[in-house]
C-alpha cells in the first residue's frame, strides 16, 4: 500500500486531542470505588424504566452494546445486571474544571469540546510531543484520579482518530505517512462529519472503510453528496484537515427533530414527544457546559407547511423545569388539531461554560 505525503503547503502543526475515558462514569466510580469492574450506566435520573437516555457507560457495560444516546430501557434489556446511576452535572463540571486547569498549563491554544475533551496546539513547543502527552496524562491522573486518552497528529482530524485507537488510557501518534496503514482500514463513520445518514449513503455506494472512500472518484460521490461535500469527504479520507484549534467557539443551537411514520393528531402525544426530545437536547446542552436563552418548537403539517414558535427566557438556563415549561408554552401556541408530520425542539442563544 502506498504512503501519502504531507499535503502541499501544510504547516507542520502538532495537535493533541485529549479525551477523558468514560468521563461521567469515571467521576461516579471515583466516589463509588466499590463499583469498579462492574457494568455501570449513567443517564437521566438513573431509572432504567424511565424514558431517559444513556449519557455514558463504563467499558464493562459497552461490551454489551450499550452506548451514549441509547434509551435507558434498551440498555437495561442488553445488560440487566448493570448498575444505573443518575446524572450529576455539578460533579462533572467540577471535575472538568480541574482537568482543564491542567490542560491550560500545557498550552494557551486550547479548544474545549464539551466537558470531557479538548484540542491543544503544541506547534513550536520545545518539548517532544510524546513526552508532553505522557506528562499530561500522568498529571491528570495524579490530580483527579481520572484517566485520559491522548492522540497526537499534524491536524485535528487525525488527532481525534488517534485518541480513540487505543482506548482506554491510550497514547497514540499518527502522521500523514500512517494514514494508509492505520486509518484507511477504519469504518467511514470514524471520520469527522460522517454521521449515520452519510454513513448509510456511503454504504449504498459500496463504501465501508476510509480506504475505500479514499480510492473513490469524486464523480462517484457527487450524486449522493454534491461536489463540495464529496471533495471534503475525500480530503478527510486522505487525512487532510486545515481547521485551526480555536480558543473561542460558541455553538449557535442544539436541537432535535422527528418525522412521524404516521401523521400525529394527538396533542397529548405531541407534548410527550416534545418533552422526551427536550430531555435529549438538554443532555447534550449540559454535557457541553452550556445554557440556553431561547426555546423553539417547530411543527410541519401534512401539507408540508412549517411553523415555529419561540420563547426567550429572562436569562440563559439549563434548568429542566424552566425549559420544559417553555417548550410546553411554545407547543400549545401551535394549531395542534391539524395532522402533524414533523416535530422539532431547539435550544439557541447558547452561552457557557457554566
CATH class, range 181-237? mainly alpha
Between CA 354 and CA 341 the distance in angstroms is: 36
Position 126 scores a pLDDT of 74
Tell me: the pLDDT tens digits for 54-76? 989 999 999 999 998 889 999 99
- Judge contact between 300 and 125, C-beta under 8 A: no
Which residue ranges make up each domain of the chain?
15-22+90-179, 23-88, 181-237, 253-351
What interhelical angle do 196-204 and 218-237 show, nearest 10? 130
Q: Average per-residue pLDDT in the chain? A: 89
Residue 78 is inside which H or E element, if any? helix 72-78
Going by their DSSP bridges, the two strands 83-85 and 40-42 should be labelled as: parallel
Position 251 scores a pLDDT of 61
Position 32 scores a pLDDT of 95
Residues annotated as part of the active site: 117
pTM for the structure as a whole: 0.71
Direct distance between the N- and C-terminal alpha carbons of the chain, in angstroms, rounded to an integer: 48
3-state DSSP assignment of residue 173: strand
Query: How crowded is the C-beta side of 40, counted as CA atoms within 13 Å?
Result: 21
In this structure, whether the domain defined by 23-88 belongs to CATH 3.40.1170.60 is answered with: yes
In the block, which residue shows the cell 496546539? 121
Superfamily of domain 253-351: DNA polymerase, Y-family, little finger domain (3.30.1490.100)
Between CA 274 and CA 326 the distance in angstroms is: 11
In the block, which residue shows the cell 497514540? 172
Position 10 scores a pLDDT of 45
Band of pLDDT at residue 8, cut at 50, 70 and 90: very low
Tell me the binding residues: 19, 116
Band of pLDDT at residue 180, cut at 50, 70 and 90: very high
Between CA 212 and CA 192 the distance in angstroms is: 16
Tell me the binding residues for Mg(2+): 19, 116
**Backbone phi, psi, residue 68, to 5°:** -60, 140
DSSP lists the bridge partners of residue 257 as 344
Tell me: the pLDDT tens digits for 251-265? 678 999 888 888 998
DSSP lists the bridge partners of residue 306 as 300
3-state DSSP assignment of residue 231: helix
Position 3 scores a pLDDT of 37
Question: With 90 as the cut, is the pLDDT of residue 179 above it?
Answer: yes
Nine-digit cell at 290? Answer: 452550556
Tell me: the pLDDT tens digits for 181-210? 999 999 999 998 788 889 999 999 999 999
Tell me: the pLDDT tens digits for 301-320? 988 888 999 888 887 888 89
CATH class, range 15-22+90-179? alpha beta
Amino acid at each position: 500500500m502506498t504512503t501519502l505525503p504531507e499535503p502541499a503547503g501544510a504547516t507542520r502543526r502538532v495537535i493533541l486531542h485529549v479525551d477523558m475515558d468514560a468521563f461521567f462514569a469515571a467521576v461516579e466510580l471515583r466516589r463509588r470505588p466499590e463499583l469498579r469492574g462492574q457494568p455501570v450506566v449513567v443517564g437521566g435520573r438513573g431509572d432504567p424504566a424511565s424514558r431517559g437516555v444513556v449519557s455514558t457507560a463504563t467499558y464493562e457495560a459497552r461490551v454489551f452494546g450499550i452506548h451514549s444516546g441509547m434509551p435507558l430501557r434498551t440498555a437495561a434489556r442488553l445488560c440487566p445486571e448493570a448498575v444505573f446511576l443518575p446524572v450529576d452535572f455539578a460533579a462533572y463540571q467540577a471535575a472538568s474544571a480541574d482537568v482543564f486547569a491542567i490542560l491550560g498549563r500545557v498550552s494557551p491554544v486550547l479548544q474545549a469540546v464539551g466537558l470531557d475533551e479538548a484540542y491543544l496546539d503544541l506547534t513550536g513547543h520545545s518539548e517532544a510531543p510524546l513526552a508532553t502527552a505522557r506528562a499530561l496524562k500522568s498529571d491528570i491522573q495524579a490530580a483527579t484520579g481520572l484517566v485520559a486518552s491522548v492522540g497526537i497528529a499534524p491536524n485535528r482530524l487525525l488527532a481525534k482518530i488517534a485518541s480513540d485507537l487505543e482506548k482506554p488510557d491510550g497514547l497514540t501518534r499518527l502522521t500523514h505517512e500512517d494514514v494508509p496503514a492505520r486509518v484507511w482500514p477504519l469504518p467511514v463513520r470514524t471520520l469527522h462529519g460522517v454521521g449515520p445518514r452519510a454513513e448509510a449513503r456511503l454504504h449504498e455506494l459500496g463504501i465501508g472503510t476510509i480506504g475505500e472512500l479514499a480510492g473513490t472518484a469524486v464523480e462517484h460521490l457527487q450524486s449522493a453528496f454534491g461536489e463540495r461535500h464529496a471533495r471534503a469527504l475525500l480530503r478527510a479520507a486522505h487525512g487532510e484537515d486545515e481547521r485551526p484549534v480555536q480558543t473561542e467557539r460558541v455553538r449557535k443551537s442544539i436541537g432535535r427533530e422527528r418525522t412521524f411514520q404516521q401523521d400525529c393528531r394527538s396533542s397529548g402525544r405531541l407534548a410527550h414527544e416534545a418533552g422526551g426530545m427536550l430531555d435529549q437536547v438538554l443532555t447534550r446542552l449540559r454535557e457541553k457546559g452550556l445554557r440556553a436563552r431561547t426555546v423553539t418548537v417547530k411543527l410541519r403539517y401534512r401539507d408540508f407547511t412549517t411553523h415555529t414558535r419561540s420563547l426567550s427566557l429572562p436569562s440563559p438556563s439549563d434548568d429542566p423545569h424552566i425549559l420544559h415549561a417553555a417548550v410546553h408554552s411554545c407547543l400549545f401556541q401551535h394549531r395542534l388539531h391539524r395532522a402533524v408530520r414533523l416535530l422539532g425542539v431547539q435550544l439557541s442563544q447558547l452561552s457557557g461554560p457554566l
